[in-house]
Amino acid sequence: MSTIQFSSLANRLRRTEIRELLKLTRMPGTISFGGGLPDPSIFPYEPVKKASIRAVEEFGRQSLQYSPTEGEPFFCEQVAAFMNRQGEKVRPNEIFSVASSQQGLDLLAKIFVDPGSAVIVERPSYVGAIQSFRQFGADLHGVAMDNDGIIPDRLKDKIDDLIHRGNRPRFIYLIPDFQNPSGINLSLKRRKQVLAIAAAYDLIVVEDSPYRELRFEGDLIPSLRSLDPDGRVIQMKTLSKFFSPGFRIGWITAPPEVLEKLIMAKQGTDLCTSAFTSIMTACLFQDGSIERQIEISKQLYAKKAKAMLDALDRYMPDADGLSWSHPEGGMFLWLRLPECIDTTEMLYDAVEKKVAYVIGSCFYSDGSGRNEIRLNYSYPTVEEIDRGIRSLAEVVESRIHEEVTSAHRS
Amino acid sequence: MSTIQFSSLANRLRRTEIRELLKLTRMPGTISFGGGLPDPSIFPYEPVKKASIRAVEEFGRQSLQYSPTEGEPFFCEQVAAFMNRQGEKVRPNEIFSVASSQQGLDLLAKIFVDPGSAVIVERPSYVGAIQSFRQFGADLHGVAMDNDGIIPDRLKDKIDDLIHRGNRPRFIYLIPDFQNPSGINLSLKRRKQVLAIAAAYDLIVVEDSPYRELRFEGDLIPSLRSLDPDGRVIQMKTLSKFFSPGFRIGWITAPPEVLEKLIMAKQGTDLCTSAFTSIMTACLFQDGSIERQIEISKQLYAKKAKAMLDALDRYMPDADGLSWSHPEGGMFLWLRLPECIDTTEMLYDAVEKKVAYVIGSCFYSDGSGRNEIRLNYSYPTVEEIDRGIRSLAEVVESRIHEEVTSAHRS
């Protein structure tokens, strides 16, 4: 082949830096704070085995067949029951199954994004969402966060500005609970403010909610969906973070006219979600295995988050501009280094010291965050967390020292 | 919500007629020749149960975790071994896993199709491919087939015409074996001619190959991929037709520069295929279950195809313009009725007589095929096939009678 003519979507595709850098970090012996993987040591092997046997013996004819595009009825029924136990009011026929929340993001991009369409995201935001929206040519606009999440005044200004420029945003994309990458929670007051702004401008709000169930400290804050009086919230859930990413199972609730489009888009995308893993999931909800797994995960990740915070306190140098978040749940901790440090350059030193992280700039739609990094604590062991943070602290310390020396020299 | 602004892709979405009509046919007691479902009575329940247990006990840490976007290594290895046994020369690192071949079609559309891009398809062609390509705004151009498949001269003329109009086709989409919906095989001579034309114009050829393994009569014809000297064929395979559609597992081989784009597009589409069902599939290839299932399916579908052909011979009236295909494999038989009959109108009569089919016009990109229908014989039982075809023949006979009468009256 000499002349392959690709689409403009294909020409926008880039191997994401995060994934290229992750390859660096897969050297044997390297402690990785990159990725966002659950701890395989607590995977629920026995319950999964039991559910797979049940999926064949009791539901074999459905499990091995095509399922409805909307979702396997048994799955929708069990998910709705779970969501109701979690404080959402939802009926089974409002549950739309997707093969991972990444697929949900792809479907959202399909039905909302034209090349040049404005989409509002948090600064920083989830790299996979940035990637899905960008595939379709979205013009991403980041709005700053503080410790209570996205800043309402800034959100309002951004919307005004976009409307003024004739590019009304297609939706506002938020991760309100234990945001990836920052670990920040959107406060209750802010949730109400964000919804009021969305109502004033009649905008769709996407609530991506993979980590909500993993709260190990503090009080649960009502979801955007449950606070929304006019049905403008699209809520996206996944099994990947609190149970297993190996099933590729998630679900979406959305306003009816949006749901209709999502279902039609899914027909052309993959016809239907796996009946086999949908029915296994339904069995695992029904017998309580998933809720037990959530408890087990929370306990372990609380311990690991504490191990990471302790190690940071113990090993990190005192330096102006060096700070980190204190997560109450989820899988990530966010570290800010002094402005003078470029965390992409620093990664090569870190990998030499056998420790890895994800560079902050991956999570910004505008390339900022060069002095920031995301640290994952769910995957490494407690012992690795201690050892890895010690190595990382040494790297940070010598970088700061170098910068100070070179500043003095110049 | 009062003003939701959807994308142009969303505005192109239509609930496909085929799916709306299928709803009609789901009345209790209706014998359905619609759909393209394997027979659940032969689903390999015990092997699947065994594989699921093995996926947990032996491969649990991988099965429940994220997998590489390219595919689970064990899966790629076992698929490559299978493909080599089937006469393809392929290495494990050339296998790219997809969550169903429908996902493969979506990824193809993503990387090749811009609004208005020309794509060449057979007339008729697979409705799901038409749908995926249309989502992205493809300008589909059908090329006529005869009993040996797509007609080379017509293909060449179509390409010339498109190039002349400045719309060089992005690829040629073919289903060479037991084509859906026609059941036709592309002959060996034609395969070589098609590849020579593709080479002359330097075009990509997509070989969608879900039914190839289900040949119950006649000799295997080499695949386009195996006949292709310059690596211009993208071959798409799926487990859905010869094993189980419940896993949502397929795979693609493609020229390296195309594969690279497909993998990047998949990252934003769903990150990765289910590790759990990929590993189960690998186990099922390894222990021979899939090849045994292919044999079982072939034997059963041979019997069912014969039952349908016998019933058509027995019950259908003698009428000019009434004919049907004689499949050597796959799941479908194609029926042509006299020109005067509209099979969409006739469907309501058929459903009243408790028998259903898919209207032919679904499979044409230009709305033709109004007097044609697709009949599936893999799903109904032999007894249902006989009874259903008898009812269908009655409907056809009375329609022909009505048309003749009304023609005489006018």
This model of the complex carries an ipTM of 0.95
Q: With residue A73 as reference, give the H or E element that holds it.
A: helix A73-85
Searching chain B, which residue's CA lies closest to the CA of residue A11?
B111
Tens of pLDDT, residues B393-406: 999 999 998 887 88
Searching chain B, which residue's CA lies closest to the CA of residue A272?
B248
Q: Collect all residues of chain B within an 8 Å Cβ-Cβ radius of residue A67.
A: 246
Candidates B13, B40, B246; nearest CB to A274: B246
Output B5 or A405, whichever has higher pLDDT.
B5
Residue B59 has pLDDT above 70, yes or no: yes
Residue A403's pLDDT band, with cuts at 50, 70 and 90, is: confident
Tens of pLDDT, residues B247-291: 999 999 999 999 999 999 999 999 999 999 999 999 999 999 999
Residue B89: CB atoms within 10 A of its CB come to 10
Residue B410's pLDDT band, with cuts at 50, 70 and 90, is: low
Q: Which amino acid is located at B120 in the chain?
A: I
- Mean pLDDT for all residues in chain A: 94
Residue B169 has pLDDT above 70, yes or no: yes
Tens of pLDDT, residues B75-125: 999 999 999 999 999 999 999 999 999 999 999 999 999 999 999 999 999
Searching chain A, which residue's CA lies closest to the CA of residue B20?
A264
Tens of pLDDT, residues A3-14: 899 999 999 987
Residue A25's pLDDT band, with cuts at 50, 70 and 90, is: low
pLDDT average, residue stretch A220-231? 95
Tens of pLDDT, residues B334-357: 999 999 999 999 999 999 999 999
Cα(B326)–Cα(B366) distance, integer angstroms: 25
pLDDT at A408: 73
pLDDT at B20: 66
User: Would you call A339 exposed, middle or buried from its count of C-beta atoms within 10 A (0-12, 13-18, 19+)?
Assistant: exposed
The pair of structure tokens assigned to B32 is: 């359905």
Q: Per the CB < 8 Å rule, is A117 touching B7?
A: yes
Q: How far is CA A48 from the centre of its chain?
A: 24
Residue B408's pLDDT band, with cuts at 50, 70 and 90, is: confident
pLDDT average, residue stretch B295-300? 98
Chain B nearest-CA distance from A13, in A, is 6
Strands lying side by side in the sheet with B332-336 = B323-324, B332-336, B372-376, B358-359
Residue A405's pLDDT band, with cuts at 50, 70 and 90, is: confident
Chain B nearest-CA distance from A245, in A, is 5
Residue B16 has pLDDT above 70, yes or no: no
Tens of pLDDT, residues A94-148: 999 999 999 999 999 999 999 999 999 999 999 999 999 999 999 999 999 999 9
Candidates A15, A168, A275; nearest CB to B246: A275
Phi, psi dihedrals of residue B400, rounded to the nearest 5°: -60, -45
Q: Per the CB < 8 Å rule, is B267 touching A117?
A: no
Q: pTM for this one?
A: 0.96
Tell me how far CA of residue A173 lies from CA of A51, A208, A223, A357, in angstroms.
Answer: 34, 7, 14, 25
Searching chain A, which residue's CA lies closest to the CA of residue B126?
A268
Q: Per the CB < 8 Å rule, is A67 touching B1?
A: no
Phi, psi dihedrals of residue A205, rounded to the nearest 5°: -115, 125
Tens of pLDDT, residues B129-151: 999 999 999 999 999 999 999 99
pLDDT average, residue stretch B37-41? 94
Q: From the candidates B5, B107, B381, which should be mutated to test the interface with A, based on the most A CB atoms within 10 A?
A: B5
pLDDT average, residue stretch A166-190? 97
Q: Per the CB < 8 Å rule, is A65 touching B37?
A: yes
Chain B nearest-CA distance from A345, in A, is 25
Percent of chain A with pLDDT over 90: 90
pLDDT at A21: 65
Q: Per the CB < 8 Å rule, is A1 touching B131?
A: no
Chain A nearest-CA distance from B304, in A, is 19
Residue B366's pLDDT band, with cuts at 50, 70 and 90, is: confident
The pair of structure tokens assigned to A121 is: 């995201």
Q: Which domains does chain B have, with CATH numbers?
A: 8-43+292-405 (3.90.1150.10), 45-287 (3.40.640.10)
User: Collapsing DSSP states into helix, strand and coil, what is residue A340?
Assistant: coil
pLDDT at B335: 97
Tell me how far CA of residue A151 lies from CA of A130, A155, B194, in angstroms.
Answer: 20, 6, 60
Searching chain B, which residue's CA lies closest to the CA of residue A72?
B246
With helix as H, strand as E and coil as C, how does chain B read? CCCCCCCHHHHHCCCCHHHHHHHHCCCCCCEECCCCCCCHHHCCHHHHHHHHHHHHHCCHHHHCCCCCCCCCHHHHHHHHHHHHHCCCCCCHHHCEEECCHHHHHHHHHHHHCCCCCEEEEEECCCHHHHHHHHHCCCEEEEEEEECCEECHHHHHHHHHHHHHCCCCCCCEEECCCCCCCCCCCCCHHHHHHHHHHHHHHCCCEEEECCCCCCECCCCCCCCHHHHCCCCCEEEEEECCCCCCHHHCCEEEECCHHHHHHHHHHHHHHHCCCCHHHHHHHHHHHHCCHHHHHHHHHHHHHHHHHHHHHHHHHHHCCCCCCCEECCCCECCEEEEECCCCCCHHHHHHHHHHCCEECEEHHHHCCCCCCCCEEEEECCCCCHHHHHHHHHHHHHHHHHHHHHHHHHHHHC
Q: Per the CB < 8 Å rule, is B7 touching A114?
A: yes
Residue A406's pLDDT band, with cuts at 50, 70 and 90, is: confident
Residue A407 has pLDDT above 90, yes or no: no
Residue A366's pLDDT band, with cuts at 50, 70 and 90, is: confident
Residue B21 has pLDDT above 80, yes or no: no
